[in-house]
């Protein structure tokens, strides 16, 4: 009796998991099969049917020629590289100061970072817009870069959590040997924060690559499109030509999905260490 | 040179130079806009003219007395409902995927997959899935014999559109919640389970009396994120339906953005933002209160 009950529970488990996987894969499946269909084939076949050939790359070529997708990838790459470099630098610097020294203003600085996590940047956007305009950054790559660095304080909290686990003994023994505080930061703290940096790089890359709001609002200029805004424009011009749009969707999904299958273990770790305090 | 200074002097230099730019950025892009926003909310500013006429509380009165503005929150309600369901499903899958199972890792990888996908691409993908006549969802429903349901206009029906959109959010973020719940499950010490087993607890009892109470803090954090997330929805309806049909899927943030940038009413938009910020803080306070009371027990 107990034996059969056990099996029934197992059946429910696997069945629900398979439904879950089906629900996850159904929309991407539809996109994949339609991205390889010519317009005629698309109009005459069911939207769930497999294409005649998975070697028909015409749609992808058309997307690259018409869509400005290459410059979209280029722009987002520039934004990601500059943002991440500065994020890592500033994040480790703040964590070093707040994690290692005590000084009068420390509670104030620390509090300022904590309170900032409650203010959703989407609510202050109306005022931020004016600031970006006054700084002359509107319609430049500088706008998303300063916003991704300045308005995101999660990275500081992340680094602060990690620096607590680095033993202070290390700093002290370096001081005994006469190392300067800057040298301690550079050759002890910074390298030991590498796991946190890896987490930051992965999560920030995904979130910047996927962000639509900031590029849409602050960089409407055609030549400054990133992948998300390029896709939006492309859909606007080609609405109805779903086989083309499917190809565009697939091209934009592909980089992160490939990255994900290589790095999934680190992504899981990053997500959990970033969210569970 | 720097190394020859005393450690006290070095400390002062490091503190000042390391914090200068980050604090400047924090002030410029988080606190200064917040203060500006409060100021704008008392003015009638149109976004470009040099004068910003002071109007006192008129903008706030407008938000609370114009039923048209507040009604938009009812659209956000769908995201809250789906967010709750999403958390329940995520806890279920987390518990299942934390038990002994074949292909456990594979299932985790698959269920988390949507989270890393590009939001705009996902939105368009669902736009195609939800399409009434060509859409794969209706085609699929037809294939499994639900012909009546297969006629539905998922994004064109007023009462339905928000739930359709919110289910897209569910699709994207369930795996994220699940991974966080799995992490919190793995932090529960094994011996509690052994003790429960010795005391003769069944699997359901163990779940109810051991597992869920131990996940409480994480569940509450996720619920906070669900509520604030539901209040702040923007990109999905903006990309997929542009707020339609007839404004039925316009969310509060979208309304704020329209008020500011399409109708050049920065004053009113600022007041609306402040009210949203206020709601977020209230949710946080209520949650903090509930959490602390739970901790006293």
Give per-residue pLDDT as tens, A80-93.
999 999 999 999 99
Interchain contact A200–B (C-beta under 8 A): no
Of B294 and B213, which is predicted with more confidence?
B213
Q: How many domains does chain B have?
A: 1
Asked whether residue B229 is domain-assigned, the answer is: yes
Nearest to B171 among A23, A103, A149 (CB): A23
Asked whether residue B37 is domain-assigned, the answer is: no
Asked if pLDDT for residue A2 goes beyond 80, the answer is no
Which residues in chain B touch residue A82, judged by CB atoms under 8 angstroms apart?
A: none
A47·B128 Cβ contact <8 A: yes
Asked whether residue B219 is domain-assigned, the answer is: yes
Which residues in chain A touch residue B143, judged by CB atoms under 8 angstroms apart?
A: 48
B136·A260 Cβ contact <8 A: no
Q: The domain containing residue B241 runs over which residues?
A: 42-293
The Cα A98–Cα A100 span in angstroms is 6
The Cα B176–Cα B90 span in angstroms is 8
Which alpha helices (DSSP H) does A119-241 contain, by range? 125-134, 142-150, 154-163, 168-176, 181-184, 190-192, 194-210, 213-218, 227-237
Asked if pLDDT for residue B265 goes beyond 50, the answer is yes
Return the CA Rg of chain B: 25
Query: With contact defined as beta carbons under 8 Å apart, do A34 and A242 qualify?
Result: yes
Report the SS3 class of residue B54: strand
Asked whether residue B7 is domain-assigned, the answer is: no
If you average pLDDT over residues B128-152, what whole number do you get? 84
Give per-residue pLDDT as tens, A125-157.
888 998 999 999 999 999 999 999 987 888 888
Asked whether residue B31 is domain-assigned, the answer is: no
Nearest to A212 among B110, B119, B129 (CB): B119
Interface of A with B in 234-273 (CB under 8 A): 235, 242, 245-246, 249, 252-253, 256-257, 259-261, 264, 267-268, 271-272
DSSP assignments along A227-265, one per residue: HHHHHHHHHHHSTT-HHHHHHHHHHHHHHHHHHHHHHHH
Interchain contact A196–B (C-beta under 8 A): no
If you average pLDDT over residues B98-124, what whole number do you get? 92
If you average pLDDT over residues B65-90, what whole number do you get? 91
pLDDT at B148: 81
Which residues in chain B touch residue A146, judged by CB atoms under 8 angstroms apart?
A: 25, 29
Give me the interface pTM, i.e. the ipTM. Answer: 0.88
The C-alpha of A29 sits at a distance from chain B's nearest C-alpha, in angstroms, of: 10
Residue A277: band (very low, low, confident or very high) from pLDDT cuts 50, 70, 90: very low
Of A276 and A271, which is predicted with more confidence?
A271
CATH label of the domain that carries residue B158: 1.10.3720.10
Asked whether residue B129 is domain-assigned, the answer is: yes
Interchain contact A107–B (C-beta under 8 A): no
The C-alpha of B282 sits at a distance from chain A's nearest C-alpha, in angstroms, of: 11
Interchain contact A228–B (C-beta under 8 A): yes
Asked whether residue B248 is domain-assigned, the answer is: yes
Give per-residue pLDDT as tens, A201-229.
988 999 999 999 899 999 999 889 999 99
Nearest to B114 among A24, A48, A124 (CB): A24
Mutate to test the interface with B, among A7, A126, A132 (most CBs of B within 10 A): A126
Mutate to test the interface with A, among B24, B30, B35 (most CBs of A within 10 A): B30
A210·B26 Cβ contact <8 A: no
B125·A178 Cβ contact <8 A: no
The Cα A252–Cα B165 span in angstroms is 21
- Cβ-based contacts under 8 A for chains A and B: 249
Asked if pLDDT for residue B247 goes beyond 80, the answer is yes
Asked whether residue B24 is domain-assigned, the answer is: no
Asked if pLDDT for residue A268 goes beyond 80, the answer is yes
The Cα B83–Cα B62 span in angstroms is 30
Nearest to A153 among B11, B26, B121 (CB): B26
């Amino acid at each position: 009796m107990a034996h059969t009950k056990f099996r029934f529970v197992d059946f429910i488990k696997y069945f629900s998991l398979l439904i879950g996987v089906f629900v996850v894969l159904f929309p991407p499946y539809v996109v994949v099969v339609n991205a390889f269909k010519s317009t005629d084939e698309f109009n005459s076949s069911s939207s769930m049917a497999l294409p005649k050939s998975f070697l028909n790359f015409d749609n992808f070529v058309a997307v690259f020629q018409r869509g400005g997708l290459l410059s979209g990838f280029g722009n987002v790459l520039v934004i990601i590289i500059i943002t991440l470099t500065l994020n890592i630098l500033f994040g480790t610097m703040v964590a070093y100061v707040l994690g290692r020294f005590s000084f009068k203003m420390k509670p104030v600085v620390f509090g300022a970072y904590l309170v900032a996590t409650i203010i959703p940047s989407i609510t202050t956007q109306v005022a931020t817009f004016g600031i970006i305009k006054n700084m002359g950054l509107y319609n430049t790559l500088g706008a998303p870069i300063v916003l991704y660095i300045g308005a995101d304080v999660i990275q500081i909290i992340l680094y602060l959590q990690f620096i607590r686990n680095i033993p202070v003994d290390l700093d002290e023994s370096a001081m005994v040997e006469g190392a300067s505080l800057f040298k301690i930061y550079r050759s002890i703290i910074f390298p030991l924060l590498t796991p946190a940096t890896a987490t930051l790089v992965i999560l920030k890359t995904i979130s910047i690559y996927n962000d639509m709001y900031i590029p849409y609002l602050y960089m409407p200029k055609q030549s400054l499109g990133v992948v998300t805004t390029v896709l939006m424009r492309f859909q606007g011009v080609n609405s109805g030509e779903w086989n083309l749009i499917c190809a565009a969707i697939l091209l934009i999904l592909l980089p992160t999905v490939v990255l994900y299958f290589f790095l999934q273990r680190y992504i899981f770790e990053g997500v959990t260490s970033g969210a569970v305090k | 040179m720097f190394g020859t200074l005393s450690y006290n002097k070095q400390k002062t230099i490091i503190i000042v130079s390391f914090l200068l730019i980050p604090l400047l950025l924090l002030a410029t892009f988080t606190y200064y806009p917040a203060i500006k926003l409060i100021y704008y909310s008392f003015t009638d500013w149109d976004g470009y003219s040099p004068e910003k006429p002071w109007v006192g509380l008129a903008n706030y009165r407008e938000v609370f007395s114009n039923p048209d503005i507040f009604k938009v929150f009812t659209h956000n309600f769908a995201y809250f409902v789906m967010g709750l369901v999403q958390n329940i499903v995520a806890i279920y899958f987390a518990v299942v995927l934390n038990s002994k199972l074949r292909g456990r890792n594979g299932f985790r990888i698959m269920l988390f997959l949507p989270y890393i996908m590009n939001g705009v691409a996902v939105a368009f993908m669902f736009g195609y899935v939800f399409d009434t006549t060509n859409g794969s969802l209706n085609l699929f429903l037809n294939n499994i014999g639900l012909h009546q349901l297969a006629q539905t206009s998922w994004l064109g029906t007023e009462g339905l559109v928000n739930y359709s959109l919110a289910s897209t959010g569910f699709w994207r973020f369930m795996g994220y919640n699940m991974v966080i719940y799995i992490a919190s499950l793995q932090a529960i010490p094994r011996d509690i389970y052994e003790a429960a087993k010795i005391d003769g607890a069944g699997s359901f009892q163990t779940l109810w009396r051991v597992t869920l109470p131990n996940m409480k803090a994480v569940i509450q954090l996720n619920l906070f994120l669900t509520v604030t997330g539901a209040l702040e929805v923007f990109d999905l309806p903006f990309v997929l339906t542009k707020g339609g049909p007839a404004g039925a899927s316009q969310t509060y943030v979208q309304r704020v953005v329209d008020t500011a940038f399409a109708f050049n009413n920065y004053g009113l938009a600022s007041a609306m933002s402040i009210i949203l910020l206020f709601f977020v803080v209230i949710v946080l306070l209520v949650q903090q209160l509930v959490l602390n009371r739970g901790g006293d027990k």
